[in-house]
Amino acid sequence: MTTDQNNMQVSLPQRSIRIENLFKEYVPGKPILKDISFEVQGKSSVAIIGASGTGKSTLIRCVNKLIPPTAGNVFISGENITKLQGSELREARRKIGMVFQEFNLVERLSVMENVLCGRLGYLTPWRAWLRKYPQTDIDQAYELLESMGLYDFARQRADSLSGGQRQRVGIARAVMQDPHVLLADEPTSSLDPKTSVEIMELLVALSEAHDIPLVINIHDVELAKRFTSRIVGLSNGGIVFDGPPSELTEEHLKTIYGGASWLQ
Amino acid sequence: MTGVVKVKHSSPFKANWWGRFGWVLAILYAIYAANFLDVSWTRFVAGLGNGADFLSEMIPPNFTRWQLLLGNLLETVQMAVIASVFGILCSLPIGLCAARNLLPNWVTWPFRTFIALCRSFHPVIIAILFVKAVGFGPLAGILTLVLASIGFIGKLFAEAIEEISMKPLEALRASGAPFSSVIVYGVLPQVLNRFIGFSSYQFDVNLRNSTMVGIVGAGGVGGTLFAAFQRFDYDFLAAILLSIIALVMMSEFMSVQIKKVFQ
Amino acid sequence: MSEIKVNTWERFTFGERMARFIVFFGFALALSISLRTVEVIPEFLLDAPTQVADLLARMWPLDYAYYPQGIHHALMETLHVATLGTLLGVLMAVPVGIMGANNIVRVPALHWLAKLILVSSRSVNSLVWALLFVAVFGPGPLAGTIAIGFRSVGFVGKLLAEALEETNPGPVEALTAAGAPWLSVFVKSYWPQVAPAFWGIFLFRWDINVRESAVIGLVGAGGIGMVLDTALNLFYWDRVSVVLLSIFVVVIVAELLVTNIRKRII
């Protein structure tokens, strides 16, 4: 398994996510996502910006089919997710790490258990029930926690942690999956400015260290410009901007967020 | 602020006419219902005399047949233990299958109907039917209490699950966890404490009910109690009642201790 | 650095595991002892499905004609027993509940007396209460009403005491500081705070009492239970099924009524 992975990293640098002509409508005739296409490869990071309600969250959930798209395709390292069902879909989801706005930890479980949750897709239900994780998983979890400065919190309950610490646990859980791509849905919205910067740094560093693409939904344009190499602007469910942060002008921001008075 | 128009203040305390009307209605109803039920003061007073005799015959309680009493109490406890274990074990999956936020409607409605059926009949009525079906004795009582437990815990457990936060479940689904692991990691930790609370409460309830189902022949101390009552053995009756109260209080104390372990 | 740390992980500490083990072991032990000693005849259990099927076959078809002549009056009697019993229980529970709330009454002796009354009321089943009052007042709805009342005291009193203990002491202090007499303090500061809880408790208990008053007739305390008892003793199974159906309908209607009213007032 491990050798296989090493081989893949050498021979297949293409850890990628490709979205093709994605549509999503909850009410027929009223699409919330219209013809979304973009591709991210390797260690590059993309920020998706847009006003609330433009379908950023829906888009990111269409990637791992938490919300099934109405039309279009999503490829994760070449595999089409949208056609998968049942256990095939679950196996594909293991390759997609996801970080959430409100961390989505199981509050009553310990930090360690939350991190190990990232391995549930690899574990038989019986072993999951008995908490019989392979030693390699436990070692990896401890290493991750140590690198994030959370080693001493491993036995504490998740709800005893601060927001920034919880988000780190959430990120550790996603990394435990050995993901091919990392999705983050507003990872900094529930955090203070300083912690937000730390979390963004952590996400970008992980993307580079593991050589995996990072897709972040974010409404904070400054953070997006500072940390990502590419920005995708959504407005009314369609892409209105796709390029490096340096090309993002105030004109673009006006089309994305509407109005101009906030741009002071 | 010159030339203020004098506003006529209404009384700051709004007279609650509906409330007062309600009290009058309640009193009128009580009189009507007492009439309907043929409840009268003379009967009540006559009863009080009987009650005094009754009480004086109960005191002092007669514990001479303590072996019979102890055996009966033991059977009561046994029934409660068996019924609680099986009832709780059954209500865990049944409650889970009745939670509408986890499963589609076509799965939940048969389970919810079953729970509603278990709840709507008093245990005594179920006990009567089981006595007819499986004969006199503790088996009928155990089956009764199992159904009652499913009705109670199943409903509360399903409601507890319907109130959980779905966010961790979303995260677990996104990581590709199989459905059963989502339940074990996402649902159970959120509801387990409440489930243990319901279960220990249900054990209490089962213990109380198992003292009662004997009255219709379904085993336990209730049978002896009914027999003592019919034979006008009131001092023994008092002994039985006192030991039932002691038993119930003991179990309340124990359930508090057990809950502490799982906190 | 990391080689000193032993990277093992287990869900619980040793102490937690032991405590859990003891509880589970205790239950397993109690269960196995109970299963071995309880006098259950397994053949009866195996035979149960056929017996139940037989029972159901005899219950069908339902003897609807019996409803107007034998059941309706008893059903009304049951409802009145439940309602009047609840009123009686609440009337008795209010003083006991006040006595049991440790933020209002600070006399330990009264406090313990209240606890004793509440616990004994709840420990004795309504059927047993009915039995006792049938002995005192003779068979009939009077015994049933009083039994329902006595049984309700513990439940209503306990919940009322808890609601009173959870009240905010602020308004109470304000009124006491203003020199209001005790009764005014109670009516104007405690009562508004506990009123919604009080009506909730009342309705909840009434719902329970409808179920209970349907069975206390089995020991002679009036209502539909007596009709059921007669039908059972005479093996009129088609009547039994009508009685059960009417109890079922009444119980469901009562529950729907209570849930709807509770939604309005809370």
Chains in touch with C (≥3 Cβ pairs < 8 A): A, B
Same domain for B50 and B110: no
Shortest CB distance from A105 goes to which of B168, B173, B178?
B168
Closest Cα of chain C to B2: distance in Å?
34
Separation CA B169–CA B166 (nearest Å): 5
ipTM of the predicted assembly exceeds 0.90: no
Q: What is the DSSP letter of A255?
A: H
Cα distance between residue B223 and residue B218, in whole Å: 8
Strand A181-185 and strand A214-217: the pairing is parallel
Q: Do the Cβ atoms of C135 and B54 come closer than 8 Å? A: yes
Could you tell me which chain B residue has the CA closest to the CA of C53? B133
Chain A: nearest CA to B253, how far in angstroms? 26
Q: What is the mean pLDDT of residues B37-64?
A: 80
Residue B4 domain flag: no
- Asked if residue B123 is part of any domain, the answer here is yes
- Whether residue C11 and residue A139 make contact (CB cut-off 8 A), yes or no, is no
Domain count, chain C: 1
Query: Among the residues of B37-135, which ranges form H helices?
Result: 41-58, 66-97, 105-120, 123-134
Q: Do A113 and C10 touch (CB under 8 A)?
A: no
In a domain, residue C95? The reply is: yes
Residue C51 lies in a domain: no
| More confident site: B9 or A148 | A148
> Is B81 touching C (CB cutoff 8 A)?
yes
Dist. CA B31–CA C10, nearest whole Å:
66
Domain containing B182 — which CATH number? 1.10.3720.10
Answer yes or no: do B229 and C27 touch at CB < 8 A. Answer: no
Q: Does pLDDT of C211 surpass 50?
A: yes
Q: What pLDDT, on a 0 to 100 scale, did the predictor assign at position A43?
A: 85
Instruction: Say if C14 falls within a structural domain.
Output: no
Residue B78 forms contact with A (CB below 8 Å): no
How far C238 CA sits from the closest chain B CA (Å)? 14
Asked if A105 lies within 8 A of B185 by C-beta distance, the reply is no
Residue B1 lies inside a defined structural domain of this protein: no
Read off the pLDDT of residues B63-94 as tens digits, 9 standing for 90 and up.
888 888 888 888 898 899 999 999 999 999 99
Residue B111 and residue B216 share a domain:
yes
Q: Contacts of residue B163 in chain A, CB cutoff 8 Å?
A: none
Nearest to C9 among A138, A143, A146 (CB): A138
Q: Is B167 on the interface with A (CB under 8 A)?
A: yes
Neighbours of chain B (3+ CB pairs under 8 A): A, C
Mean pLDDT of chain A: 87
* Nearest CB to B185 within list A66, A97, A117: A117
Number of domains in chain B: 2
- Nearest CA of chain A to the CA of B194: how many Å? 13
Q: How far is residue C169 from each of residues A253, C177, C195, measured CA to CA in Å?
A: 54, 12, 16
pLDDT digits (tens, 9 = 90+) for C8-46: 666 677 777 777 788 888 888 888 888 877 777 777 777
Residue A169: which pLDDT band, with cuts at 50, 70 and 90? very high
Residue C246 domain boundaries: 64-265
Return the pLDDT at A203.
Answer: 92
Domains of chain A plus CATH, in order, are: 13-95+181-264 (3.40.50.300), 102-178 (no CATH)
Beta-strand relationship, A181-185 and A71-76: unpaired
b/e map of B181-220 (b: 16 or more CB within 10 Å)?
A: bbbbbbbbbbbeebbbebbbbbbbbbbbbbbbbbbbbbbb
Q: Which residues of B touch C124 (CB under 8 A)?
A: 241, 244-245
The answer to whether residues C189 and C175 touch, using CB atoms and an 8 Å cutoff, is: yes
* Terminal C-alpha separation, chain A: 53
Domain that holds residue B150: 66-261
d(CA B92, CA B158): 9
Report the alpha-carbon distance of residue B169 to residue B171 in Å, rounded.
Answer: 5
* Cβ within 8 Å, pair B36-C127: no
**Residue-level pLDDT at C6:** 55
Say whether pLDDT at A8 is over 50. Answer: no
Interface of C with A (CB under 8 A): 2, 5, 7-11
Share of chain A above pLDDT 70, in %: 92
Q: Stretch A127-153: mean pLDDT, rounded?
A: 89
Same domain, yes or no: B153 and B236? yes
Averaged pLDDT, A58-69: 90
Same domain? B53 vs B145 = no
What's the pLDDT score for residue A10?
42
Q: Is B124 on the interface with C (CB under 8 A)?
A: yes
Contact C266, C200 (CB under 8 A): yes
Give the span between the Cα atoms of A7 and A41, in whole angstroms: 18
Instruction: Collapse the DSSP code of C47 into the 3-class scheme (helix H, G, I; strand E, B; otherwise coil) and give the result.
Output: helix
How high is the pLDDT of residue C147? 93
Q: Does A173 touch chain B (CB under 8 A)?
A: yes
Q: Is the residue at C229 inside a domain?
A: yes
Residues B197 and B93 in one domain: yes
Judged by CB atoms closer than 8 Å, whether chains meet at B180 and A128 is answered as yes
CB distance B125 to C247 below 8 Å: yes
- Let me know whether B102 and B148 are in one domain: yes
**Are B91 and B22 in a shared domain?**
no
pLDDT score recorded for residue C221: 86
Where does residue C133 rank: exposed (0-12), middle (13-18), buried (19+ CB within 10 A)? buried
B133–C84 CB contact, under 8 Å: no
B48 with B144, same domain? no
C30 CA to chain A: closest CA distance, Å?
25
Query: Which of A112, A143, A146 is the closest to C9 by Cβ?
Result: A112
3-state secondary structure of B63: coil
Does B129 lie in the same domain as B35?
A: no
- Name the nearest CA neighbour of A246 among A228, A263, A261: A228
Mean pLDDT calculated for residue range B203-211 = 87
Residue C160 included in any domain: yes
Residues of C in contact with B249 (CB under 8 A): 119, 123
Q: Which residue of C has its CA nearest to B72?
A: C38
Q: Is C263 exposed, middle or buried (0-12, 13-18, 19+ CB in 10 A)?
A: exposed
Confidence (pLDDT) at B203 = 87
Please report, for the domain that includes residue C256, its CATH number: 1.10.3720.10
In a domain, B3, yes or no: no
Burial class (CB within 10 angstroms; exposed 0-12, middle 13-18, buried 19+) of A264: exposed
